[in-house]
Amino acid sequence: MSRVALITGAARGLGASIAQRLHAAGYRVALADVQLEGVQQLADQLDPSGQSALALQLDVRLKTDFQTTCALLSERWGGCDVLVNNAGKSKVAALMDITPEEFDESMAINLRGTFVGCQVFGQHFADRGFGRIINIASLAGQNGGTATGAHYAAAKGGVATLTKVFARELAAKGVTVNSISPGPLDLPIVHETVAPDRLAQIKQMIPVGSLGSADYIADTVLLLAAENASSVTGACWDINGGLFMR
Ligand SMILES: NC(=O)c1ccc[n+]([C@@H]2O[C@H](COP(=O)([O-])OP(=O)(O)OC[C@H]3O[C@@H](n4cnc5c(N)ncnc54)[C@H](O)[C@@H]3O)[C@@H](O)[C@H]2O)c1
């Protein structure tokens, strides 16, 4: 039977690209998002019979949603093998204007969501002796942000740290945990939230001269999810056009 992958935030953007790539590679994919309509459309497009693509409503802020999803996938497909913690929300905001409520909200989606996802599915994978977790972090978590707010950048820095903590905890159980830190990608959210003149400035700052490709990030997810990727864990994969070099 083919492996099962759960992708959060799969209704559009990077999550949709990752879901399409994993499905094309033979995975059964569970597409989860707060926006059920978006994931339903994509699941219908990938497999109208529902046998290899499933749309699910899941809010990453809620641990109970991950628990319900884990139980559902166990019943429907005998379990899950890969979790891609992709759901996130970036926001352009002036540093001194970010309210405590906005800060907490950003943490709940961008950091706590990854934490509870890793807890619930990390345990599920450990119990089964195999699993792959891929957390989508961001260059913002490494350099403080190019066009996004401090709350988002801080949360993404936390995602990279959590990746190492869960990787260490789960290493002996056949479960790997890695993060990918993309720089600005050629995706709708970037064009919707960054003014064209600012985007032109950003492109000029990128050493390779262009925005990153979601398809390539999806290829990297596939590589990290592979059975033979067992010795890669706790790593952060920088895909940022040369904007940040270690
Ligand atoms: N676009 C970029 O340039 C870029 C760069 C670096 C990192 N990232 C990261 O990649 C990931 C995807 O980004 P994107 O550009 O596709 O963003 P997007 O805003 O286009 O898509 C995000 C998806 O997550 C969903 N989502 C939001 N809150 C959710 C919640 N509480 N529970 C479940 N789903 C929720 C949204 O409905 C949406 O479908 C995010 O983690 C983002 O931080 C993006």
Query: For 90-130, how does the pLDDT look when each residue is reduced to its tens digit (9 = 90+)?
Result: 988 999 999 999 999 999 999 999 999 999 999 999 999 99
Q: Which one from 77, 115, 121, 152 is the annotated catalytic residue?
A: 152
Residue 216 falls in the annotated catalytic set: no
- Strand order of the β-sheet with 236-239 is 53-57, 28-33, 4-8, 82-85, 131-136, 175-182, 236-239
Q: Could you tell me the CA-to-CA distances from 74 to 44, 99, 144 in Å, in that order?
A: 21, 40, 39
Q: What is the pLDDT of residues 42-59, one digit of tens each?
A: 999 999 999 999 999 999
Task: For residues 104 and 243, give the distance between their C-alpha atoms in angstroms, rounded to a whole number.
Answer: 28
Q: 26 C-alpha vs ligand 1 centroid, how far in Å?
A: 24
Kindly list the protein residues whose Cβ atom lies closer than 6 A to any atom of ligand 1.
Answer: 8-9, 11-15, 33-35, 38, 58-61, 86-90, 109, 136, 138, 182, 184-185, 187-190
Q: 180 C-alpha vs ligand 1 centroid, how far in Å?
A: 13
Domain locations along the chain = 4-239
pTM here is: 0.98
139 Ramachandran zone, left/alpha/beta (phi>0; psi -120 to 50): alpha
**Ligand 1, atom 42, residue with closest C-alpha:** 88
**Ligand 1, atom 25, residue with closest C-alpha:** 9
CATH number given to 4-239: 3.40.50.720
Residue 12 has pLDDT above 80, yes or no: yes
Strand partners, 57: 33
Report the range out of 138-152, 190-204, 225-239 with the highest average pLDDT: 225-239
Place of tokens 């693509």: 53
For residue 212, give the ligand 1 atom closest to its CA: 3
Q: 189 C-alpha vs ligand 1 centroid, how far in Å?
A: 8
Place 201 in a pLDDT band, splitting at 50, 70 and 90: very high
Task: For residues 194 and 200, give the distance between their C-alpha atoms in angstroms, rounded to a whole number.
Answer: 10
**DSSP-assigned letter for residue 230:** T
